[in-house]
Amino acid sequence: MSKVFDIQEVTTQHDIYFARYMAENLACFEYKVQEDVLTVAKHLTSVLSTSGAQLIETVSPAHLLTQLHGDDGANQEQVVMSEGMLPSMQSSVIISVVMLLKAYLKSAYGISEE
């Protein structure tokens, strides 16, 4: 489970499907002790702190503005939908799945962020 939600340099649609599948299974799993839920939540937090921070840096408004202004007179849609941005967009879907799973586990099992 530890490598399921880690973001690779190139994220494909199959990675998104697999992350969604694993998140659904982790959400439906009947945890017997709260320590199991805390272990999953701790791992999700570490994924968000590392991969999430990298993704924010990649798609930050300043970075996007640099790309837009660096391409003199080019169509904005071509810059946003370029091949270089597709893996970042797909990675953001996986990060969103991680965030939703963590929020669900916190609310369902009554655990706090601490």
pLDDT tens for each residue of 21-68: 999 999 999 999 999 999 999 999 998 898 888 887 777 766 666 666
Sketch the domain layout of the chain as residue ranges.
13-109
- Contact 41/105 with Cβ under 8 angstroms? yes
Q: What are the start-end ranges of the H helices in the chain?
A: 13-28, 34-47, 53-58, 61-70, 76-80, 86-109
Give the CA distances from residue 104 to residues 31, 32, 41, 92, in Å, rounded to whole numbers and listed in that order: 14, 17, 10, 18
Closest CA to 8 of 42, 44, 46, 55: 55
pLDDT tens for each residue of 55-104: 877 777 666 666 666 655 455 455 445 556 777 888 889 999 999 999 99
Model pLDDT, residue 12: 87
Which pair of tokens denotes residue 42?
A: 């701790």
Closest CA to 94 of 12, 26, 2, 1: 12
- Contact 101/44 with Cβ under 8 angstroms? yes
